[in-house]
Amino acid sequence: MIISGGVNIYPQECENLLITHPKVADAAVFGVPNPDLGEEVKAVVQPMPGVMPGSALAEELIAFCARSLSRQKVPRSFDFEKELPRLPTGKLYKRLLRDRYWGNKASRIV
């Protein structure tokens, strides 16, 4: 769960929406540090083969999410990966992605 400005946000809701987009093969959503809100919503996306990642795709995905989710649930930023890490069981290994943004902080809440 992401706590952003006192609002509880469940990442699964955004992930389920993102994977319905035709340019998205896989998605991970989690909270990253934000000095004002505590956490903000971040999405890491694996684009479909042949789709160029970049700011144009990020803007398209933000607009796509904004049509179905409330404002605080829409990812504020997107990063793109060739392939998202998964465990042998197929479960998404978000901790590897999330740790890049949290670094050595003792607490996840800023």
Per cent of the chain over pLDDT 90 is 76
| Confidence category of residue 104, pLDDT binned at 50, 70, 90 | low
Residue 84 in tokens: 């998202």
Answer with the residue of higher pLDDT: 63 or 106: 63
Pick one of 3.40.50.10420, 3.40.50.300, 3.20.20.80, 3.30.300.30 as the CATH number of 2-85: 3.30.300.30
Q: Locate the domains of the chain by residue range.
A: 2-85
What lies within 8 Å, CB to CB, of 36 at 6+ separation is 5
Strand residue runs (E) in 5-107 = 7-9, 24-34, 38-47, 77-80
The pTM (predicted TM-score) of the whole model is 0.89
Give the side-chain half-sphere CA count within 13 A for 24.
24
The 10s digit of each residue's pLDDT in 15-33 is 999 999 999 999 999 999 9
